[in-house]
Structure 1
Amino acid sequence: MQVRTPAIICAMRAHGEHGAIVRALTPDNGLLAGYVRGGRSRRLRPVLVPGNLVEADFRARTEEQLPGLTVELTHSRAGLLAEPLAAAAIDWLTTLTAVALAEGQPYPRLYDMLDAALAAIEYAPSARGWAAAAVRYELLLLAELGYALDLSACTATGSRSDLAFVSPKSGAAVSRGAGEPYARRLLPLPLFLVEAGAETNWSDIVAGLRLTGHFLARDILVDRRADALDARERMVTRIARLA
């Protein structure tokens, strides 16, 4: 097995005295894990920061063996670790990717959207500049794993206009007219998720995070994966302070 590919570092775990096991998302091979010799060295620690872009070379003698991994840094986002909100967002998005995806399954759309979301965090550190991209990434991940929300039309009337809520059970959209009598039991649907080019305000951002968070916690981040929600809570708490 030999794969040389661009990759986004998603997780790094110490292994042995000096090495590290790294999980990285690739465009054509999905999430891959590899052992980096000397991964905890002064030279490699700044390279193996989640969110960094690297050229990765995975090599193994057999498919059952954990590949050895060498990396070359192509773009660093390590400087964002000094920005608490940006660091929390990168931590969450890469953690979600590392724990939710099965290894070796290609998700090219997720790779492109994660790369775009991380770039948005880098170039517009204010949450107003990247939170919508983070919510869309969460929605896409749900869809890619078989838990897509149906936001195309009202599940009660079939109407495609004035969609304002989502059923927390079915994940289907509900129009304002059909949903208002049951609004307390439904999740608000922010306009930016159903109308291209719609502006986002703080209430939209909070509603979007509440929406995706409900389904991530219910369908994806369960059992041993539930600990990953701590990273999301850190991000959401910092955003809520700004709203």
Structure 2
Amino acid sequence: MKKVLKIAVGVILASTTLAGAGTLDKIAEAGKIVVGVKNDYRPWGYLDAEGNPVGLEIDLARDIAERLGVEAELVPVVASNRMEFLQQGRIDLIIATLGDNPQRRTVVGMVEPNYYAAGANVLAPKANGLKEWPDLEGKDLCAIQGSYYLREISQKYKANIVAFAGVPEATAALTNGSCVGLVYDNTWVESQLMTEAVWADYEMPFATEQLQPWAIAVPLAELDEAYGQKISEIITDWHKTGYLIEANAAHGIADSPFLQEQHEKFR
């Protein structure tokens, strides 16, 4: 009986040790961190002419990997699958324009401080003459599946949401006239209007609503453990040193009041 008890205790201790090792040790042992990123959200995450992932969030993923002393393996994700990939263990980290809200905090570990912020707005042809959000009532509005602001826009402004899996499908529908506009993050809309000639006849007609901070996410069980704490330290340092402000400017993104506020807070 004593021998059986010793074996049982040994198994329990071994299991506890393995569970306690956590993601940070797994990353170190593998020599890489697997990060879910966007590849259709220029200039935060997209593919260059050679098909290589580039962008602000790609830089952040690689900086985290460098600080951890490992390589960065980048896995493309979209709004509808990024949290599922993290839950399934297919990725170790999400850096993919993930809005932080209470509902999502029950699913994945939203690391604080937040690293960016954005709200909802619309990219629409100037010829459509949209002026205010209520102008969307009864109209088809293209969107991206999984975007946090869709329910409120549908309920508050009575728009008919036509959701697509990714940006390419949604923008194709917009340009072929299938919808009156594309609702998406104001940061993305602004960057498109500033950098892409294809949108010369388009505009962002509304005031931005539902401003929401973005979070880097770890597995929920790891949020308060060594892994979550390490990611938090890195983000804090980004704000403290102004790294995020510099990276934002390097990618031609409009100045972010949120980043400036966080820099002042942490420096």
Shorter-chain TM-score bucket reads under 0.3
TM score, norm. by length of structure 1: 0.27
User: RCO greater where, 1 or 2, for CA within 8 Å and sep 6 or more?
Assistant: 2
